[in-house]
Copies of this chain bind each other. A is one copy, B any other.
Amino acid sequence: MPELDLDAIPQTNTTGYPAPFDAPVAGRWYRRLAPVGGLTEMGASHVVLKPGGWSSQRHWHDDEDELLVMLTGEAVLIEDSGRTVLKPGDICAWPMGNTNGHHLINESDTDCSFVAIGAGNQDGTGGYSDIDMMFDAEGYCRRDGTRYPAKRAR
C-alpha cells in the first residue's frame, strides 16, 4: 500500500551521537519511511518531538538537500540567523552545502510532529554548528579528525 501505516512502523529514539551530544535528542521519536515505502532516491522520516526534544544537534549537509514539513504542534527553528516558530503546514528547505546549521527544538508543553526528507548523498558529510563534531558515512569525528567511538545512526 502506498499509504503508509504509520502505526505499523516501529518508532525509535536511537541515535549514534556520542555522549553528551545524544542527550538532547532523547525526546526525538522517529519512523524511517523510505525503507517501508520502497524509496531509494530519498530518505524520509516521520518525527515526533516530545516537549524539550531537539530534532538533532544543529547541523548542515555538504551533499544532501533537506525539506521539512510541519504536521502538528509547534517547534522553534534555530539557525545562525535566529529563531523562527514553525506551525502546521510550514515548510523549510535547506540546500546542500549551506553551512548555516539548523535544528528544531520543541519548547512547547505538547508533542509536535513533522516529516523530514533528504535527497542527494545519503552517505554524505556535514557538520555541527555548536559543537566540535563533523559527520561522514562512518560516524562522527572532531574538527581535528579524531574519531568519536559511536557509530552514526541509520
| A residues whose Cβ falls under 8 Å from a Cβ of B | 1-4, 6, 33-34, 36-42, 44, 46, 64-65, 67, 69, 71-72, 77, 79, 81, 84, 86, 88-96, 98, 100, 102, 113, 115, 117, 119-120
This protein's copies in its complex: 2
**Leading 4 A-B pairs by shortest Cβ distance:** A37-B93, A38-B95, A42-B119, A41-B119
Kindly state the separation between the CA atoms of A3 and B84 in the bound complex, as whole angstroms. Answer: 8
Report yes or no: B93 in contact with A33, Cβ–Cβ below 8 A. yes
Kindly state the separation between the CA atoms of A42 and B92 in the bound complex, as whole angstroms. Answer: 13
Q: Which residues of B contact A79 (CB under 8 A)?
A: 2
Apart from A37-B67, A42-B67: 9 A-B pairs, beta carbons within 8 A: A1-B81, A3-B90, A4-B90, A4-B92, A33-B67, A38-B93, A38-B95, A40-B96, A41-B119
Report yes or no: A65 in contact with B42, Cβ–Cβ below 8 A. yes
Report yes or no: B119 in contact with A86, Cβ–Cβ below 8 A. no
Q: Which single residue of chain B is at the shortest CB-CB distance from A91? A: B4
Q: Which residues of B contact A33 (CB under 8 A)?
A: 67, 91, 93
